[in-house]
Chain A
């Protein structure tokens, strides 16, 4: 069944009815990430009936928008005012074999999607100020507020970001927006291996250069490895900060300025993971940057491919090998591994999200039951229900 609510009342009625029928529902935006997680057979609640901007006052740095509004539309609107979503959300469509342009703002926030700038500007969680949603109880509720600074009550917007449709269907989001940097420059180091790259990025991150994003693309046929350092801000500041990098990084290589267009294309590639677009199995591993080299050493021997973002704290790993080994390596490194893309039989067996410590998993389950006592949103996608099959 495919539900297409257009009002919070509709939505509440659908959820209440599903709970009474014992049906399970998947909350879906554009469906760009539907290919993630275990195959499942659930009713779909399509949120694209909730579109449009509710309120946007650029100097207040606050945007309120309905959840089903396409991400691209939101980005166009705020770019027109010289602003941005600083967590740099992106469209997973192409990465998962779909089309570009399907992603909705509600979907990217519910999945905690963030790009290279997450390193220094925070993730979706850090920019979600307020939410209107309908929980699994079929009740409409408000969390957070529409101002940039608020500590009134529990910080439920944090829970709503990255909840993957497991707690509530968000109908309206209030996001913090920030001025788009007036100037951007990218400095590059060539030919570093992953160990040297992580060191160079750490050195830059700890300096006065105020790096905004740092990524590493390993060498490929016909191209040397590239370590990218993005510097953003007002033009005089960007010039001054770039100028300190060659000397600062002299032990790591010769840092030079990349032409603007080339740099922009490379950052798009890092954010959208295009160099690994052909890999059948793709993992996203978040870990402490200095644990990355040892982890990669291990999988290099097995023929894995990768790229690094977040100064090495994010590894996109293309590797068809044993999932258990990847998970245990990620955990040993002090991080976690999310399965982004894999053939169906693997997704049916391996949970998409890294399993949690048992006490945390039990607490998460209690939190889920508190929003969704009947389990309307337990579609089996996450393979983490003790009794789900």
Chain B
């Protein structure tokens, strides 16, 4: 079972004082301290873990964020940032002795700059709201996590979120130009801006995907793109996962990077079809949804190419969307895959490993063996173009021991991903969920090099502790260096 850092009794004992200090900074309803009102914050999208926070604060201005953090910093109080709470890895899981800082009130689109093709938004703006703010002029924000109606851009930055279109258009990190952030010490910094490639070390690149451990993001500048003239989708069924996988490889080998390329296995196809009834073929072992976008001439050309390539790979069925409604219908099953699978079983657990695509048949075969071994079903949907798997493990939390078994099964799947040359997480983040698996992928030296970044940003380890890293080393310990004959080399260099 997951172990979080033990709550500091001293801090717990000072709760009233802490609440009062926060109220002095954020007046009125911006501080939530009553037990019942804390309940909605006790977990994020990884609902297996729950912990009410000590107190919730909902700042509205950068000055408040800075004041809260510098007070907490001075007092040694921990802080956990939260956006919409849709994280699937427990990144926003509260701590009993920490302030939960909700960024929901930072919900303004600050500026749309069409000339420079960018939008400046506050972190609590939802992913979809950015597109809504720029679509009147035919633009959109490309990364599109399935949770886009709910999740915030601040959370997207923290998790480096992706979506079904990120093979062609990139993850969050490839679409963010700049941020404003506040360090745990309360210092307001700007990284990047309205231009490409800021000067110096790419600290912006490290902030994206840092899971709320390095700073609170208070403003985000994103690139916006003109929406493609047309988009069409194909639905192609295959007799085996191998043939579908080979088809994906052949499409890419032909120089085609589709806007989206998703695969579903038999259990996922059946679950989705039973749920949304959009006419998915039920006699196939694997289904590919391929989306093409661009001018009509390009879509036509590529559809022909892909039809040819899938034919060569033994495709059993192939449909091409002829209208927007039909395209939406092709996607409907995939987009509803999680709730559809949810109907098969009281609970499901969504995994997120990435593998080299060529290992797919082997990974699915071994996953089936693991499924047998753990006595739990699994359905697979995945971002086929980039090898990002989302196995959905079916279990019943009310049956004693099943949650633990589901977690063990999930861990085995992730170990398998790493074993074949892949990674623990492709887009959902490490959070608390995969924290203890980090040594599967990284040596202690690798992890130390990462953790020292944390020390450069937050040497007291007060921001979102207990996430991402399996062991919390004190920074002094990590910073230790070899001293030769009692002399510190370069005494003139500042030490931090």
**B458, chain A: closest CB distance, angstroms:** 11
Smallest Cβ-Cβ distance to B414: which chain A residue: A152
Cross-chain contact A353 with B196 (CB below 8 angstroms): no
| Number of A interface residues in the complex (CB < 8 A) | 100
Smallest Cβ-Cβ distance to A153: which chain B residue: B450
CB-contact partner of B117 in A60, A205, A357, under 8 A: A205
Q: A73–B117 Cα gap in the complex (Å)?
A: 36
Cross-chain contact A365 with B496 (CB below 8 angstroms): yes
Cross-chain contact B357 with A60 (CB below 8 angstroms): yes
**B428, chain A: closest CB distance, angstroms:** 7
**B488, chain A: closest CB distance, angstroms:** 8
Task: Say which one of A32-40, A135-143, A318-326 lies at the interface with B.
Answer: A135-143
| Residues of chain B contacted by A166 (CB below 8 angstroms) | 201
Cross-chain contact B358 with A125 (CB below 8 angstroms): no
Q: A62–B254 Cα gap in the complex (Å)?
A: 15
Cross-chain contact B294 with A60 (CB below 8 angstroms): no
| Residues of chain A contacted by B3 (CB below 8 angstroms) | none
| Residues of chain B contacted by A354 (CB below 8 angstroms) | 199-200
Q: A206–B254 Cα gap in the complex (Å)?
A: 28
CB-contact partner of A179 in B256, B295, B296, B430, under 8 A: B256
Cross-chain contact A367 with B456 (CB below 8 angstroms): yes
What 1/0 flags go to B100-123 for Cβ under 8 Å of A? 000000000000011111000000
Q: A108–B250 Cα gap in the complex (Å)?
A: 31
Which A residues, 91 to 140, have Cβ-Cβ distances below 8 Å to chain B?
A: 112, 114, 118-119, 122-123, 125-126, 135, 137, 139-140
Given A60-B357, A237-B301, A240-B296, answer yes or no on A364-B201 (Cβ-Cβ < 8 Å): yes
Cross-chain contact B196 with A236 (CB below 8 angstroms): no
Task: Say which one of A189-197, A275-283, A284-292 lies at the interface with B.
Answer: A284-292
Q: A387–B191 Cα gap in the complex (Å)?
A: 25
Cross-chain contact B493 with A387 (CB below 8 angstroms): yes
Q: A366–B493 Cα gap in the complex (Å)?
A: 11
Sort chain B's interface into a size bin. Answer: 35 or more
Task: Say which one of B341-349, B365-373, B434-442 lies at the interface with A.
Answer: B434-442
**B491, chain A: closest CB distance, angstroms:** 9
Given A236-B298, A314-B196, answer yes or no on A141-B201 (Cβ-Cβ < 8 Å): no
**A52, chain B: closest CB distance, angstroms:** 19
Cross-chain contact B423 with A145 (CB below 8 angstroms): yes
B386 within 8 A of partner (CB): yes
Given A206-B117, A374-B490, answer yes or no on A149-B297 (Cβ-Cβ < 8 Å): no
Given A155-B160, A210-B294, answer yes or no on A286-B195 (Cβ-Cβ < 8 Å): yes
Q: A241–B230 Cα gap in the complex (Å)?
A: 13
What 1/0 flags go to A355-382 for Cβ under 8 Å of B? 1110111011111111101110010000
Cross-chain contact B203 with A360 (CB below 8 angstroms): yes
Cross-chain contact A375 with B450 (CB below 8 angstroms): no
Given A19-B489, A125-B202, A178-B257, answer yes or no on A289-B115 (Cβ-Cβ < 8 Å): yes
| Residues of chain A contacted by B257 (CB below 8 angstroms) | 178-179
| Residues of chain B contacted by A139 (CB below 8 angstroms) | 445, 449
Which A residues, 207 to 245, have Cβ-Cβ distances below 8 Å to chain B?
A: 207-208, 210, 233-234, 236-237, 239-241
A61 within 8 A of partner (CB): yes
Cross-chain contact B493 with A149 (CB below 8 angstroms): no
CB-contact partner of A180 in B252, B255, B354, B358, under 8 A: B255
Q: Can you sample 28 A-B contacts with CB below 8 Å?
A: A19-B481, A60-B387, A139-B445, A141-B448, A142-B446, A145-B354, A147-B355, A150-B423, A151-B209, A151-B426, A153-B450, A154-B206, A154-B209, A156-B450, A156-B453, A179-B255, A206-B139, A239-B297, A288-B113, A289-B115, A289-B116, A313-B196, A354-B199, A363-B456, A365-B494, A370-B453, A370-B479, A385-B493
> What 12 new A-B contacts, CB under 8 Å, besides A147-B355, A206-B139?
A147-B421, A156-B206, A158-B173, A159-B202, A166-B201, A206-B117, A240-B296, A287-B195, A289-B116, A359-B189, A365-B496, A368-B201
A residues in contact (CB < 8 Å) with B = 16, 19-20, 22, 57-62, 82, 112, 114, 118-119, 122-123, 125-126, 135, 137, 139-143, 145-156, 158-159, 161-163, 166-167, 178-182, 202, 205-208, 210, 233-234, 236-237, 239-241, 286-290, 310, 313-314, 334-336, 338, 353-357, 359-361, 363-371, 373-375, 378, 385-388
